[in-house]
Amino acid sequence: MLRLPFLLLLSAFLALAAPAQAAIETSAEHGLIMDAKTGQVLWQKDGLTPMPPASMSKLMTIELLFSRLKDGRVKPTDTFPVSERAWRTQGSKMFVELGSRIPVESLLRGIIIQSGNDACVVVAEALGGTVEGFVNMMNKRAKELGLNQSTFVNPDGLPDPPGQLMSALDLAKLSRQIINGYPQLYHYFSEREFVWHNIHQPNRDLVLGSLPGADGLKTGHTDAAGYGITISAKRGDQRLILVLNGLRYPQYHNDYFPNIRRAEEAARVMELAFREFRSYPVLAANQVVGNVAVNGRLHATHHRHITHHLIG
C-alpha cells in the first residue's frame, strides 16, 4: 500500500501545479497568453477558434525563410528576383522594383518591419517556385508544427483569396517556434525602422520601445479580422507570448489612432500577465518527495521523484 503521508504530499503538489486562472479582460474578440519556455497556455479568450489572422500570418512566411537561413540553403546576401505579380501586390508594401533583385536580409526587414505584401510574394516565388507552391509549403509546415486550426491560402494575409485562418493558439505556437528555434535570427523583430529606396517606414508594432522587455512580433489588420497583434516580452528568465485579434475601433476612419490603441491594449494585457503569472520552481530536479512502500513479492521500496515548473 502507499503510505498516506506521501499521498497527501502528492495531492498537495498536484493542486499547486494546476494552472491559475487570472481575471484578465480585453475587448479583443480573441486572445491568448502562452509561456514561451514551457508552451503552457496561461489564459485564453476564444483562443482555439480559427479566425482571419491578417498580416500576422506572415509569421509562417518568415518561419519558412528562417528555416532555410538556419540550414544554409539560403544566405542573407542571396538575392531574389521581383516578378510582375510581386510588384503589383497591393496593401502594405516594401515598394519592390519590377525586375530588380533584392537581398534576402532586406526582404526579411521588408516583411517584419514594413509588413510588405510585395516582399512576401518575392519570397514565396523564390522558395516555392510559385505562390501556390509556397502556400502548399506553408500548410505542410503548419501540420509539422501542430498548428491544427490553421489554413493558408496566401503568403501575406490579404483577404483575397478568402480562407486564410489561424487560431490565437496557433499564432502563439508559431511565435514560440520562431523565438526558440531561431535565436540568432529573432533580433530582426525588435528593429524599429527600415529604409528601402529612400522610403522610411517605422515598425508597425508600437509596443516596441513602450513595453519593457518587448521584442516582437507582428501586427495585422483587415476589415474581417479587425486589429490584431502578436507580441512577446522577456523579463528576467520569464518570456511570455500574447496574441490579440478582433480589436475594433469604428469611431476612427484611418489607422493612426487604432494602431496606438492596439499597442496600448497589448501592453496593458501583457503587464497584467507578468503580474499575474510568475514562475516558481516547486521542486528541484530529481528532488526526493517521499518514499512509497509497495507490498509485493520482493517487498521493494521505490523512491519517487517529481519535477515541475509552476506558472501561477
Q: Which are the catalytic amino acids?
A: 55, 58, 115
DSSP, collapsed to helix, strand or coil, labels residue 28 as coil
- Whether a cis peptide bond, with omega within 30° of 0, leads into 42 is no
81, 89, 142: which is closest to 115 by C-alpha?
A: 89
Q: Locate 256 and state its grid cell.
A: 493612426
- Helix H or strand E segment including 235: strand 226-235
Q: Are the C-beta atoms of residues 174 and 145 closer than 8 Å to each other?
A: yes
Tell me how far apart the alpha carbons of residues 172 and 229 are, in angstroms, rounded to a whole number: 11
Tell me how far apart the alpha carbons of residues 264 and 270 are, in angstroms, rounded to a whole number: 10
DSSP 80-137: EE--HHHHH--SS---PPTT-EEEHHHHHHHHHTT--HHHHHHHHHHHHSSHHHHHHH
The distance between the two most distant Cα atoms of the chain, rounded to a whole number of Å, is 81
Tell me how far apart the alpha carbons of residues 190 and 203 are, in angstroms, rounded to a whole number: 9
